[in-house]
Amino acid sequence: MKIGHIHHVAIVVHSISASLPRYQTLFGLEPQDEPIMFSSQGVRLCFLPTGPDPAARIELVEPVNEEGGVARFLATHGEGVHHICFLTDDLPASLEALVAAEVELIDREPRPGAHGDVAFVHPRTLSGVLWELLEVR
């Protein structure tokens, strides 16, 4: 299995509206679009490109309820880096390769994400870092 480049680094924040001005003022990063609600995951997302495509993005992730995994992460760890997302050309094949290598997965099947199908690799597998694999639609 070979992964592609980094698509985004996700940072969990209490509030996108409170955090966004810091990224704009300090680093000149502007939102790709208006923040989007991703109800199935209980979050609002805002992507900040770091340059022209295919540059990586910063993804600001704001929990909108107290029940999801992101809300639990925020309550336990506070604001900060949540995961790194890598592109893959064939997510099902990537997951099969990881299962064959006995890698612990959060998602054994792809699920819908903001930009395509995604699956997460458990942080216990990769030095405490949560990896997201993305096959762009």
- pTM here is 0.93
Residue 21's pLDDT is: 98
Asked if the model's pLDDT at residue 53 lies above 80, the reply is: no
Confidence of residue 2 (pLDDT cuts 50, 70, 90): confident
Confidence of residue 129 (pLDDT cuts 50, 70, 90): very high
Asked if the model's pLDDT at residue 113 lies above 90, the reply is: yes
Residue 63's pLDDT is: 98
Residue 109's pLDDT is: 96
- DSSP states of the chain as a string? -----EEEEEEE-S-HHHHHHHHHHHH----SSS-EEEGGGTEEEEEEESSSTT--EEEEEEESSSSSHHHHHHHHH-SEEEEEEEE-S-HHHHHHHHHHTT--BS-SS-EE-SSEEEEEE-TTTTTT-EEEEEEE-
Asked if the model's pLDDT at residue 26 lies above 80, the reply is: yes
Residue 123's pLDDT is: 96
